[in-house]
Amino acid sequence: MTPIFHYTDYRAFLKDALQALKEKDPKISQRWIQQRLAVKTSGWLADLLAGRRKLGRPQLEAFSRLLNLSAREELYFQTLVDYVHAPTAPTRNRAFEKLASFHEVPRDLIDPDRFEYFSKWYYGAIREFLLIEPFRGDHAKLARSLRPPITPAQAKDAIAVLERLGMVKRFASGELRPSVEHVKKLPHFGPEHYYRYIRSQMELGIDAVERIPKDERDVSALTLVLSEEGFRIFRQELKELRSRMVQISESENKKFWTGVTGDSRRVYQSVLQVFPVSQHRPPRETP
């Protein structure tokens, strides 16, 4: 049985743990499990595992006894439940940070340092800015280079985080430059690793409408009707657009370097959003 500390979804843990119980004793059934949980509703367990029902505290404690969890495992189990059912983004972030505090959790599953990178908009902005101009030790100058400006203390903190993550490297000259051209989201990263980053970028974009002159930005909004297939096509085209934007950036970074005439590069932030503003409707039957 995989340790509970290797899970970030309590339902996935329960599915595997209950399957292990059934393999150990074929006589164990969903009905038997529900009886041990003091649940009388038919289909309760199936609804829980399918995400149609939340796990309450009494059943959580019953599961802990049934699976023979230690006190620390039960605490992690409770934190998983809090994380999945968090009603707001701040409470979800707090639950995730608590998950990350368990030393038993594999580092490649929940990486606190990577989570830190996505926690503030200017970490990524500074990393990109170093592609244009290397850092030579002047935190105040670096802080003034961003728009909106940050404090020298924030710039110093950002440099420390980037160095710790290996996202920047120091050359023989003493200059700091990015170690790779672009930061890519690792496949096992869930929304918890970059949700705060996305939210901060959205807030930055709202502020940019008033703060940035119109000829220096491109902000638009569109409301339209799409079918599920249309939305799928839309998402694919946005994915291709993001890929094309990265290609353009990589091409220009190879073309220019510090001191070359005509280097007009700046750090830009792009937030592309498509989301529903009406409720889901069941497909209409053809007469």
Same domain? 205 vs 170: yes
Please give the pLDDT value at position 186: 47
Please give the pLDDT value at position 55: 93
CATH code for the domain in which residue 60 is found: 1.10.260
Same domain? 93 vs 136: no
Domains of the chain: total: 2
Among the candidates 46, 78, 110, a domain finishes at 110
Same domain? 131 vs 246: yes
pLDDT in tens, 125-174: 999 899 888 999 999 999 999 989 999 999 999 999 888 888 889 988 88
Residue 94 pLDDT greater than 90, yes or no: no
**Residue 21 C-beta-side C-alpha neighbours within 13 Å:** 16
pLDDT in tens, 177-215: 988 666 655 444 455 555 666 777 777 888 788 888 888
Tell me how far CA of residue 255 lies from CA of 79, 216, 250, in angstroms.
49, 22, 9
Residue 11 pLDDT greater than 80, yes or no: yes
Mean pLDDT within 237-247? 89
Same domain? 166 vs 200: yes
Query: Residue 86: which residues within 8 A CB-CB, separation 6 or more?
Result: 92, 94, 95
CA 69 to chain CA mean position, Å: 29
Burial 201-227, CB ≥16 within 10 A → b, else e: beebbeebeeeeeeeeeeeeeeeeeee
Q: Structure pTM?
A: 0.59
Same domain? 134 vs 185: yes
The answer to whether residue 156 sits within a structural domain is yes
**DSSP H or E run through 178:** strand 176-178
Structural domain containing residue 17: 4-110
Mean pLDDT within 207-232? 87
Same domain? 166 vs 222: yes
CB 82 within 8 A of CB 10: no
Same domain? 217 vs 192: yes
